Amino acid sequence: MFRPGKMASQVLRSLFKKPATSSYPFVKKPMPKDFRGKLRFYQERCIGCKMCMRDCPSAAITIKPIGDKKFIAEIDLAKCLYCAQCVDTCPKKALEATPDFELAQLEHGKLLIVLGENAGKDSKTEG
């Protein structure tokens, strides 16, 4: 049954309450512990075993040799499911999931990133 008095009091109460939503992207809250965002690659730990590639369910990661026992990791952010299976699989803890989730790009090509020093000149390189 419609009760205008009850509704009016609820409206008044709501006027003085803090909003339940947050003002993202103006206010950013810290991500929860163990959030699985963009990958970080510790090049100095990688032994090139490619177990991360084998276990990746979407073929989003490619490990490539670039010299004497040195490897780079190519990640296709468009294919990555952010499942962190590669992180769990890596026997050397060379991969880590970061809280970074703001990965949108206007150009598809920018979603292919190369992690590690001495990566290809035409690719974005991050540590």
Convert residues 29-68 into a mask of x (bound to ligand SF4 by CB under 6 A) and - (unbound): -----------------xxxxxxx---xxx-xx-x-----
For residues 32 and 99, give the distance between their C-alpha atoms in angstroms, rounded to a whole number. Answer: 8
Size of the site for ligand SF4 (CB under 6 A): 26
CB 89, min distance to ligand SF4, A = 6
For residues 12 and 78, give the distance between their C-alpha atoms in angstroms, rounded to a whole number. Answer: 46
Q: Does 114 bind ligand SF4 (CB under 6 A)?
A: no
DSSP letter, residue 1: -
Q: What residues make contact with ligand SF4 under the rule CB under 6 A?
A: 46-52, 56-58, 60-61, 63, 75, 80-86, 89-90, 92, 94-95
